[in-house]
Amino acid sequence: MRRGARAVSLALAVSGCAYYNAMWSAEKFAKDARRLEAHGRETEARTQWAQAAVKAESVMVHHPHSRWADDALVLRAEGLAHAGTCALAAAPIAKALSTVTEAALRERAGLAAAQCALGSGKPGDADGALAEALASNDAQRRSRAEFLAGQGAADRFDYDAALEHFTRSREPKALPARARALLAMGRSVEAAAVLDTVALLRFDVEEWAALLDGLGATGDTGAGAASASLDRLLARARVPFADRARLLVADGDRRLARQDFDGAVARYREAAAAAPVGGAGMAQVREQRVAVARAAGRRDLVPIVGELTRISNAKGSGAVEAQHLLGLLTRLIAPPQSPGGAFRLAELARDSLGAPRLAAQLFLDLAAADSGSLFTPKALVAALALLPERHDSIANVLDRRYAASPYTRAWRGEASPTYAALEDSLARELGVKLVRAAPPAVARASALRTGPRGPWLDDPPTVQALLQGRERRNEPIRRVPTERPPTDRPIVPPASL
């Protein structure tokens, strides 16, 4: 009997030891996952959370009636939720919320439920799951609940509520989230102040790139504010060379988009100097894009082609982008084979290269080289949009020489039955695909675009009837747009018509 009692005691001890080891292992994986999350290593953290969920499940299976069964259930729900497998987490979360009575465990289960609800685009469900955690006596769980509640409010575009929640949270991600909420509300000055605080935290290049882009997009002063914030960040934080170069290139891109050419060049040169060995090529290519944007004629492209050829041959950073830009410039330098081809090259300079001065000159060169082309009035209309200060002189040419042109009439706001015919003729010359579609009910001349597309003027003839002399067909033809909408950026005019 004494031997039997000792055997039972030993078996219980072994079982308890195994149970303790399994639960300790699950908690250890969860602890490691939290540590990795705090250091921004999200992918590794998800792996550790998945391991914690597996160990917790083992406890549930082998010790379903132990005093730690509820802890294992909640830890499994947390692990699956943080690992991004919310479909698997649904059952343990539901069971925990329906059977667990301990307040701390219910709060943890509610946080897991809210995280999965937000991940599946159901912020309303997250609000209900967070009720207990938002009132928790535990500061850490309450802070996490405030952060998740803020995310839910932001997902509903309730940025005022989101800002309040993020302000009450002490989660590391709450500060960047506050900045995003402020940017969404148009409060860029306050957002910039929050960014200065974020700069004191652990550096995350993806987070900073997104925040600076958001700040740069806020009105006319956004690009300057983003540049100033970047300068303060680089002065305060230890930023790896490659990340420093990346952020400086992005800042140069924002300045280039605002046509701050000198500012863009300065940023690109800073980026080239900061880049690791072999990594300056991208910044150098971007500097050549500024030179293209400043170009006023084909001859200005020759030295740019030489520099891009050097970067391309170096096979380092930026070689692929250099080759792409080089291909576009090579097309521009080659003489066009037709008026339609000349028009398309001018569009390429304007829309693909962001070179308005060069594009304007190419449109005017077309008009001067072939004044009898059907597309010359279209080129003049395109040049007029790029040269507002020369409006009167170009408009005078259109009225005197090309008053009857469908393009001039459309520009003047008049309907022309041959407008669509010319557009499709140009589209065919450029190889633009035509697709069948119904025209809009009302066509307005204000819809005029200078590429191979334009307004549908509500008139009887169709393209086929005009071009081939046949009867009108029931299916109208629409051209596929091949250009981006014109911008309202200020244009520096070329020297002469």
Least confident of 6-10, 201-205, 225-229: 6-10
User: Residue 298 pLDDT > 80, yes or no?
Assistant: yes
Is pLDDT above 50 for 222?
A: yes
- Does residue 493 register a pLDDT over 50? no
At residue 39, the pLDDT reads 81
pLDDT given for residue 460 in this prediction: 31
Model confidence over 17-28: pLDDT tens digits?
555 577 888 889
Across 10-34, average pLDDT: 68
- Mean pLDDT value across the chain: 81
* Rounded-to-integer distance, Cα 362 and Cα 382, Å: 10
Of the candidates 290, 334, 288, which has an alpha carbon nearest to the alpha carbon of residue 311?
Answer: 288
Q: Is the pLDDT of residue 47 over 70?
A: yes
Closest to 105 (Cα-Cα) out of 117, 116, 93, 115: 93
Q: Is the pTM of this model over 0.85?
A: no
Domains of the chain: 240-334 (1.25.40), 341-479 (no CATH)
Q: Report residue 442 as tokens.
A: 């009302």
* pLDDT tier at 73, thresholds 50, 70, 90: very high
pLDDT in tens, 305-351: 999 999 999 888 889 999 999 999 999 998 888 888 888 899 999 99
Task: Output the CA–CA distances (angstroms, integers) from residue 130 to 74, 120, 344, 407, in the order listed.
Answer: 15, 16, 58, 62
**Exposure b/e, 374-411, CB count within 10 A at least 16 = b:** bbbbbbbbbbbbbbeebeeebbebbeebbeebbbbbbb
Residue 86 structure tokens: 């919310």
The two three-digit tokens of residue 390, written as one number: 């020369």
Angle of helix 241-257 versus helix 281-294 axis, rounded to 10: 10
Q: For residue 180, how many other CB atoms are within 10 A of its CB? A: 22
